[in-house]
Amino acid sequence: MADGANATLAGRRVRGGEEAGASGAPRRLRGAAPAAAVAAVFTLAQLVFVHPAMGLGWDEIVYVSQVTTHHPAAFFSAPRARGVSLLVAPLASWSASTELLRVYLALLSGLGLYLGLRAWKGLFPSRVLATAGAFFATLWVTLFYGPQAMPNYWVAIGALITVGCALRVLRAGRGRSGRAALWGVAAGALLMALMRPTDAVWVTLPLLALVLVRRHWPLLLALAGGLAAGGVEWVIEAHAWYGGLGERLARASEIQGGLGWNIAVDDQMRSLGGRGLCRPCTGAMPHPVVTAWWLLLPVVAVLGVAVAVRARRATATLVPFACAVTAAVPYLFLIGYAAPRFLQPAYALLAVPVADALWHLAGAGRDRWRPVGATLVALAVAGHLAVQFSVLVGTVDRNVESREDWARVAGELHRLGVRPPCLLTGHESIPVGYYTGCSSGSVSGNNENTTAAEIVDTARRIPVAALTGPGGTPPGYARDWTPHRITDLEIRVAPPG
């Protein structure tokens, strides 16, 4: 009897263990499902709203041309890093198809968002993380730049992975799960530093301070090691091409207008209407409906921090909030121009306390008031989506048109006999040169990489054209060259050598 009872009990334990093991996997899948759904919808929305055939933009051309065999490499200025070029190399090294590149980057960015959200598992309920991902993914700037060969979105993903995994390490202590999360910290830091080393430093400043206070040396090693591994190539280039790290940083500052106290908050607001680059940033502000979300964002994020402090779980909310603030500081107060993509890391990190606050607002108060809070949150979300997608559609249309203009100019240049191998110099020579298949050269400005004498000498061997923008004056070396009017450009083609 006793043996039979023990066997029955053991059988139940075995079956119970099997049932627990069997239900553990579905439970994990259910926890991952909301983040996966958000990432999938984000990927699909990029392919629907950002036309895959939209040509490459100016900065994209610089990054992609470094690894393609179909076009000459454009000048690579001091602030840039090689991360984007490495990201697109698996495709761009053998295909010149813009459509394939857009699809490839949309799929990668969806995967990146999923991994960024999963880095926070266990720190917040899955519904909060899915809401954070949905908020970040539905910003027009996220949807527009997700399928583009640009670095800022990937800094944002790296920031999510780094901060989320670091918080998991601090919570888990020295256990096995903490050791696994250490690799996530290193990978996220490496990704940020590969894309934009200086941004990576700004993002991680509060995290580095927290690690030093907690004296968690393995976490410090993972964080510093990831940053160093991602930034080492940039530092090597600094010594090889610029005479040292200080000189490269100084040149990068010069190209960005001289880093120093510059309040660019109003410039960032002007760019919210869909301006990819606001330099110089003049003109009227967008409609208040367009900027309302931007002004409310820090307010809601602070509410999320207050909710967390009151619930005695402040660290997981305060750390991403602090990292978002330091990530935004250089682009709000230290440069004299703006681009909305610069703040993507801050938006991604603020999305976590914002999502926490929204769920609190939707469920706060007594039972009879909860429907009111939920309705107000739903209306705010609907308004947010309407504004973001309206700006996105207008931004895509304008960029498609401007890039088609570059392609038209390239077609006319081919008709005039300017065909590869060739050289373009002057106004917008980098993007027009890429579409034409020519190298580009500049004798002054941020992309200075040649001299007038070298251009004249090159004209004796291959076709050369000088581009002058509206209201501009042709360079002295090209005043005797044959002028042509193409769109709003004056193009002077050097006589055959």
Write out pLDDT tens, residues 280-298.
888 889 999 999 999 999 9
Residue 11 has pLDDT above 60, yes or no: no
**Is there a cis peptide before residue 280, judged by omega within 30 degrees of 0?**
yes
- Give how far the C-alpha of residue 443 lies from the chain's centroid of Cα atoms, to the nearest Å: 30
The one-character DSSP state at 478 is G
- pLDDT category, 363, cuts 50, 70, 90? confident
Compute the average pLDDT of residues 222-246: 96
- pLDDT category, 360, cuts 50, 70, 90? confident
Note the pLDDT of residue 480: 93
Note the pLDDT of residue 279: 87
- pLDDT category, 25, cuts 50, 70, 90? low
Note the pLDDT of residue 380: 86
**Is there a cis peptide before residue 206, judged by omega within 30 degrees of 0?**
no
Higher pLDDT, 53 or 369: 53
- pLDDT category, 451, cuts 50, 70, 90? very high
The one-character DSSP state at 493 is E
Give the chain's length. 497
Residue 123 has pLDDT above 70, yes or no: yes
- pLDDT category, 205, cuts 50, 70, 90? very high
Residue 24 has pLDDT above 80, yes or no: no
Strands annotated E in 219-374: none
CA dihedral over 81, 86, 89, 92, signed as positive or negative: negative
Residue 65 has pLDDT above 90, yes or no: yes
Compute the average pLDDT of residues 113-117: 98
* Total-model pTM: 0.92
- pLDDT category, 177, cuts 50, 70, 90? low
Residue 461 has pLDDT above 50, yes or no: yes
Higher pLDDT, 14 or 101: 101
- pLDDT category, 15, cuts 50, 70, 90? very low
Starting from the edge strand earliest in sequence, which strands make up the sheet with 489-493, in order? 439-441, 423-426, 464-468, 489-493, 482-486
Higher pLDDT, 91 or 377: 91
Compute the average pLDDT of residues 132-147: 98
- pLDDT category, 26, cuts 50, 70, 90? low
Q: H-helix or E-strand containing 466? A: strand 464-468
Token pair, residue 155, equals 């800094």
Note the pLDDT of residue 4: 47
Lowest mean per-residue pLDDT among 84-93, 340-349, 481-490: 481-490
Q: What share of the chain is helix, strand, coil (3-state, %, to 5)?
A: 70, 5, 25
What angle, 0 to 180 degrees and rounded to 10, lies between the N-to-C axes of helices 2-49 and 126-137?
Answer: 10
Residue 19 has pLDDT above 60, yes or no: no
Compute the average pLDDT of residues 4-24: 42
Mean predicted lDDT score pLDDT of the chain:
91
Higher pLDDT, 180 or 66: 66
| Token pair 């983040």 in the structure block, residue | 35
Compute the average pLDDT of residues 14-27: 45
Compute the average pLDDT of residues 327-341: 95
Residue 387 has pLDDT above 90, yes or no: yes
Residue 176 has pLDDT above 70, yes or no: no
Residue 142 has pLDDT above 80, yes or no: yes
Note the pLDDT of residue 370: 66
The whole-angstrom separation of Cα 398 and Cα 54 is 10
Residue 492 has pLDDT above 80, yes or no: yes
Note the pLDDT of residue 366: 52
Compute the average pLDDT of residues 408-425: 97
- pLDDT category, 72, cuts 50, 70, 90? very high
Note the pLDDT of residue 421: 96
Higher pLDDT, 373 or 153: 153
Higher pLDDT, 256 or 432: 432
DSSP states along 110-163:
HHHHHHHHHTTBTTB-HHHHHHHHHHHHTSHHHHHHTTSS-SHHHHHHHHHHHH
Compute the average pLDDT of residues 24-49: 86
DSSP states along 351-413:
HHHHHHHHHHHHH-S-TTTHHHHHHHHHHHHHHHHHHHHHHHHHHHHHHHHHHHHHHHHHHHH
Q: H-helix or E-strand containing 485? A: strand 482-486
The angle formed by the CA atoms of residues 30, 36 and 41, to the nearest 5 degrees, is: 135
Note the pLDDT of residue 1: 41
The whole-angstrom separation of Cα 136 and Cα 264 is 22
Compute the average pLDDT of residues 369-374: 70
